[in-house]
Amino acid sequence: MRLVADNLAGERGGETVFSGISFSLDEGDALVVTGPNGAGKSTLLRVVAGLLPVAGGGVALEPTSEEWPDLASACHYLGHQNGMKTALTVTENLSFWRDYLGAPHLTVPEALEMVGLDAIGHLPFGYLSTGQRRRVAIARLLVSYRPVWLLDEPTAGLDRASERQFADLMDAHCEDGGIILAATHLPLGLEQTQELRMGEA
């Protein structure tokens, strides 16, 4: 499996935000997207996820399969928002996502243990600190399997120990043949990455 972008362009509000982006990621590859505010990093991730239309060129999974019939079906998208209901408990939120997304992977207790939150599954999500909320959102990546992880500022709000823990989870995903495309201003601590700099002439 390979994630290929060919001369890809994206727009916002009718204006081209980026163009001419090409990359090819094989199983096990991680590409870190960097660049100044407004360079188009989030837009790129949303185009790859299928949440915004392609404005030029293309991006695709090669080859597709019965299991992953198109790129969107193969992606986990972690945006700036955590995608959790504040009134539901942490366990209820993750159980919802596990049922909704399908392709069950880790159980909810296993995923919570992986992000160091096994003691607070019973708490409403709204009670959690900023970093704890982000860690629950990261646990969502683990309860259902997707080969491609699209991560937008995934470590925002995480303390050092949690950053390290998440770097280990990302490395494990790549070692298992997964693909990561991550936009960030912060070093992610990954063992091996390629870099794509946006917003430079």
Closer of 42 and 132 to ligand ATP (Cβ): 42
42 binds ligand ATP (CB under 6 A): yes
- Identify the residue among 21, 32, 41, 158 touching ligand ATP (CB under 6 A): 41
Q: Which residue has the tokens 């942490």?
A: 90
CA distances for 145 relative to 7, 159, 165, angstroms: 29, 26, 19
- Identify the residue among 3, 5, 17, 150 touching ligand ATP (CB under 6 A): 17
Give the strands of the sheet with 148-152, arranged side by side. Answer: 75-78, 148-152, 179-183, 30-34, 194-197
Which structure tokens are listed for 98?
A: 């596990």
Q: By rule CB under 6 A, what count of residues binds ligand ATP?
A: 12
CB of 112 to ligand ATP, least distance (A): 28
Residue of 61, 21, 54, 25 lying closest to 39 (CA atoms) = 21
13 binds ligand ATP (CB under 6 A): yes
Distance CA 16, CA 138 (A): 31
20 binds ligand ATP (CB under 6 A): no
38 binds ligand ATP (CB under 6 A): yes
Which residues, in sequence order, are bridge partners of residue 80? Answer: none
Q: How far is Cα of residue 122 from the mean position of the Cα atoms in its chain?
A: 25
105 binds ligand ATP (CB under 6 A): no
- Identify the residue among 39, 137, 143, 180 touching ligand ATP (CB under 6 A): 39
Q: Which residues bind ligand ATP (CB under 6 A)?
A: 12-13, 17, 35, 37-43, 183
